Every structure is written in structure tokens, then in C-alpha cells.
Chain A
């Protein structure tokens, strides 16, 4: 299970990356991320929404109420141009961290 700090730090890039695949709503976002991480990334589900709203305020996302299957109304989020730019920046940073750690750990294969 991921530490609290890492969960908090990775929420924005994860949300941006999932929404870059196409629009989605809160519950589906959480399901998708849980699948991708084989259940390792666990959010207190309600906490995702303030983050989504903050990202919308920052202009990274836009939202719209739509009726889904079985007549259920859901708020769908879509990534905006600014969001894609932010995602690029995030990607770069995470890659940097990832590359550095991978290099370090490759020399000590006992630490997996």
C-alpha cells in the first residue's frame, strides 16, 4: 500500500493521465486507478472530489453533468489544454525521479 504522502503527491498526475484517455466521472476514475495499481493506491474516495474541483478552478479540467446508463446523472470531467500542459510537466518530473531511482537500484539488485 502506498504511503499517504505519496498518494497525495500522485493524485494530480494520476487524474490528469486517466482523463487524457478520455472523459470520466469520479467513481469510474477511482475504479480505473485501483485497477491500474492492482489495489495498491487506495484513496478515501470522497477526498478525490475537492481535488477535482480545485483542478477545475485552476483551469486544468472542465466538468459537465450528464445522464449515463440507467438514467443516472453523473458529473463528467474532461481535460483541458492547460491540463495537458500540466501533465507534460508532471510526466517529466516523475520520469526524472523514476530514472534516478532505477539507476540506483540497478547497481544493487538485492534491493528489490
Chain B
């Protein structure tokens, strides 16, 4: 029990409401109704001689815990619960698409930069290294450098984007549910926004190829394409691993709660 700070009834009620709002099973109208109930109940316990804090805890207990409330309301508002799940799926696939396009674009840029540097004579000892370790012919060193640059840029971009999304999600838990609410309130704008994101993302992903074809020797361009294909294959293998890791974490969390 908290007895350190002074008890603020209104703040406690809004904290309770915020907690309940996390579940898609409860609409705003439901929250309004439950809060009216909670306030009636608190008033009654207070008039029976309890302190505001005691009255709040008893009223909260009698109204039921968050999980069983969400479960029961979910039966009536099942449509809303499923819509929210669908929104998560759409949001997730959109994020992955933007991730992949951005990573592919940046890896291409990285490869182009590497090629420029090699042409200008900065090879960081790669020519010697490739000749020694991979016994590559001088003509193939270009390809090795391009491939390494592509793969490195691709992986770094994916990791950086993943870290960014992870950070912003952890930083504000309400961000996603607010975005979901906005999308439900403005379906037309949400559709336009999603379409624009897909279009821009695809345009960036494809535009870089035009740049490559115009600016690079065709042999270098095809080397990059080949390396990118290998990287893609590697990253496709990474997705199931990532999914497995997420599921393992998730089930451990659920287990801890149960």
C-alpha cells in the first residue's frame, strides 16, 4: 500500500482508466460508464465513513480486475478487438516493407560509395587482403569490396531501424493505441497515409536502381545486384529466427504473469 505520498483521488481514477484503455475491448463509452460507476461507488463508501483512499481501493476491487473486465467486454465488442488485431498486422507488415526498402536503398548507396572510393584509389588495403586471403584476381577485388559494402550497409540499416522502432515503442506505450484510435477515427486519411508510405517506400527502393544503372558501369551494377540477392536470402533466413526469439520472450512474459 502506498502511504508515502498524499492520496489524489482524481489522479488515481485517471490512472485506473488509463490502464483499462490499453485494452481494445473497451470503447470510450464503456470507460465513461465504468468511471461513472466507480465514482458512484467511491461516494457511497466515503459516506459510509471510509477515507478517499480506502473507498477507492474497495470500489476498484468490487468493479473487477482489468483482465476479466477486458475479457467480458471483449465478448460484446469482439468486432473492435479483431479490428485492432488486423491493424497490428497491417502496421507490422508496413513497418517491415519500409525496413526492407530503406535497407535496400541504403545498401545500394553504400555500394556505390564504395565503388567511387575504389575508383579514386582508396581501397583500405582490401586489394592486398583479397589477393592474399581469397586469392582473388585483381579484377574480382572490385566485386568483393562492393559485396562487403552492400552487406554491411544492409545489416547496419536494418539494425539501426529496428533499434529506433524498439526504442520509440518502449518509450511511449500509448503511442500505438493512439495511432490506432486516430486510424479508426479517420479511415480515409489513414488509407491515404498508408498508400503514400507504400508508394514512397517503393519509389525510393526502385529509384535507386535507376540511379545505379545511369551512374555505374554495368558490370559493377550487376555485381551489386548479385550481392544484394545474397543478402536478401540471408535476411529472409533471419526473419524466422527473429520471430522465434520474439515468441520465446513473449511466452516467458505471459508465464510470469500467470
Is residue A105 within 8 Å, beta carbon to beta carbon, of the partner chain? no
Q: Which of A16-24, A67-75, A80-88 contacts B (4 or more CB under 8 A)?
A: A67-75
**Shortest beta-carbon distance from A105 to chain B in Å:** 33
Contact B39 A46 (CB under 8 A): no
Chain B binding surface, main DSSP class: helix
Least CB distance from B21 to A in Å reads 14
Q: A63: shortest Cβ distance to chain B, in Å? A: 9
Q: Is the CB of B37 within 8 A of A44?
A: no
Interface core residue of A45, A57, A73, A74 (most chain B CB under 10 Å): A45
Given contacts A27-B37, A72-B36, A73-B36, contact A44 B63 (CB under 8 A): yes
Instruction: Choose one: B39, B40, B62, B73; the contact of A49 (CB below 8 Å).
Output: B73
Q: Which residue of B39, B41, B62 is within 8 Å of A72 (Cβ)?
A: B39
Mark B67-107 against chain A: 1 for CB-CB distance below 8 A, else 0: 01100110111000000000000000000000000000000
- For the complex, give the distance between the alpha carbons of A72 and B36 in Å: 8
- Does B54 lie at the interface of the complex (its beta carbon under 8 Å from any beta carbon of A)? no
Tell me the total A-B contact number using a CB cutoff of 8 A: 56
CB distance from A52 to the nearest CB of B (A): 9
Number of interface residues of A (CB under 8 A): 16
Contact residue among B29, B36, B68, B69 (Cβ-Cβ distance under 8 Å from A74): B36
Do residues B72 and A47 form an inter-chain contact, with CB atoms below 8 A?
yes
Q: Could you tell me if A27 and B76 are in contact, using CB atoms closer than 8 angstroms? A: no
In chain A, positions 20-66 with a C-beta closer than 8 Å to chain B are: 25-27, 44-47, 49-50, 53-54, 57
In the bound complex, what is the Cα–Cα distance between A72 and B44 (angstroms)? 14
Query: Given the known A-B contacts A45-B63, A53-B76, are A27 and B68 also in contact in the complex, defined by CB atoms under 8 Å?
Result: no
Closest to B73 in A: A50
A-B contact pairs, 16 of them (CB 8 A): A25-B36, A26-B33, A26-B36, A44-B68, A45-B62, A45-B64, A46-B34, A46-B64, A46-B68, A46-B69, A49-B33, A49-B34, A53-B30, A72-B40, A73-B32, A75-B33
What 12 additional pairs, Cβ within 8 angstroms, besides A49-B73, A54-B75?
Answer: A26-B36, A27-B41, A44-B68, A45-B63, A47-B69, A50-B76, A53-B73, A53-B76, A57-B76, A72-B36, A73-B32, A74-B40
Query: Which residues of A are in contact with B by a Cβ distance under 8 Å?
Result: 25-27, 44-47, 49-50, 53-54, 57, 72-75
